Structure 1
Amino acid sequence: MTEGNFVDYVKIFAASGNGGSGSSHLHREKYVAKGGPDGGDGGRGGHIIVRGDENMWTLIHLKFKTHIRAEHGGSGSKNRSTGKSGDDQYIDVPLGTIVRDAETDEILFEITENGQETILVEGGMGGLGNWHFKSSTNQTPRYKQPGIPGAEGWFRLELKILADVGLVGFPNAGKSTLLSVLTSAKPKIADYPFTTLKPNLGIVKYRDFQSFVMADIPGIIEGAAEGKGLGHRFLRHIERNSLLLFMVSADSLDINNEYKILLNELKKHNPELLDKERILAISKCDLLDEELKKEIKKTLPKTIPHLFISSVAQINLDQLKDLIWKKLNE
């Protein structure tokens, strides 16, 4: 998936259908002069329904279709015939999509399962026909109920990507390069910060035809939790990853301190992120000799497993996949 095709935020206007009007028909036949009321009910207006689709990875299909309207219900007719219900409108979204009220910012619901359907805006109920109002004191009522109008509003859809492994690191830590080497994804790669502006996904093939999904998330900078850099736009994606692969470049002045800064930004954004499994990868290790590696190892945190890797020189990549697979299946 190219970066330009990945859309993780859209604002839409959704309007359900109006309910159809009831009928005030009076029954008439050749030999039945006064058959009484037989007006049918109006049909229900169409719902707007959000539906999960495991084959989708982006909200790009909604980027240029921001107004979604359902069909109105049909009017009732004679012989107590109910009007046609309006067709529902379905909004298919990737798994991990959160739906918010655009005005209040309240989270309405989340879509996490394939085929999950949740009504976003209910269609209006159809009005009752005049036969409902017949009584001993009113044998021929000539009134009916109008249909109930549908509802409408602005909503915000946000995608938190569902991936097994999320790459966490400062800009230019080598995250995109690793993704391009381990998967068939083609993220933008360059030697300047913030090359990656939107998350990229790739499927890593493992032994015995197994696989797992890896997400390259735009680089963190200090203060990201307060909105600096790309701020909350990317931090929310980390919440859905099963395992976090922290990447720190071997040419960093202080690898341990850089790891602590990354960890602190995640903690400020959402303390629950610290409960996830973590692996530390020191990238671009082809720049180091064995003596430097030994010196760096002494400074690394003892609480998480670590590996020296190089995507370009293909160093320890199989060992990294083995470690990831082990952590994912513990």
Structure 2
Amino acid sequence: MVPLNFSNALSSIFYLTGIPGYEEYHHWISIPLCLLCCVGIMGNCTILHIVRTDSRLHEPMYYFLAMLSLTDMCMSMPTMITLFRVLWSISREINFSTCVVQMFFIHAFSFTESSVLLAMAVDRYVAICHPLRYATILTPRLIIKIGIVALFRSSCPLIPLLIRLAFIPFCRSHVLSHSYCLHQDIIRLACADIKFNVIYGLTVVITLWGVDALGIFVSYVFILHSVLKISSREGRVKALSTCASHICAVLILYVPMIGLSIIHRFAKHSSPLIHIFMANIYLLVPPVLNPIIYSVKTKQIRQGIFNLFLPKKISSSLT
């Protein structure tokens, strides 16, 4: 067993991978990725601006939507710098401390987004099952507390993992399989006992994502139970339509997340292109699609976008 060495880890330099076998096309591949990044930033910034400036949107549902947009950007933005550095052939190197910070942001805000989606499911449950008490239950003070708890709940469990990494020597190849740092990727390069990281990391993932997924599922069980009691078909459709955007956001986050976790743990010897493709979908697609979905499905957000980018007469006729 190799002894743990604090200085060894801190002095480690890792090398990021672009898309193996397609290095000559990296500049061309960066164009659609850059467009996706710009669309995601612009879309989420637009949502945040509309919710902040339109007093009609100062309601729990839109506060949670603003949290989702902010979390999307915090999850994907730390990866953009290193991604484009690799694709534009500027540098493939990343030191240990930068790698740990990037890893923390990716994983912490990934868990935070899951927590926000759980809060949004509870919001839909209260709105549909207890509409008369909606404003009194989900007060602004409670929403702030939910946001703070979601952030601490998602970030604190990662601290032991990252501290442990600082004492693990990396004496194998220092080449990472992505254009950014992921915990499950970097521990594969260690030449020490990594049972703690593997078991504790898996426990954190199952606990946080599992509890959130279970909470979302239970919320929708109660929502469906309440909706089925509505006598009119139009009433049932209207109630369920308010959940459509949230269900899409849940699928957009959880499907790539589950796929990436399965590939890392059970398909380690599959093509590197599959790992890279799934990892980029996991980090780039939610920030792009979530604003689009909520803009299309939510009348108030759509109206706010029209008012922001179109002349008043045109926007009023479209909405």
The answer to whether TM tops 0.5 is: no
TM-score, normalised via structure 1 length: 0.21
- Looking at secondary structure, tell me which structure has more strand per residue: 1
Greater relative CO, 1 or 2 (CA 8 Å, sep 6+): 2
- Looking at secondary structure, tell me which structure has more helix per residue: 2
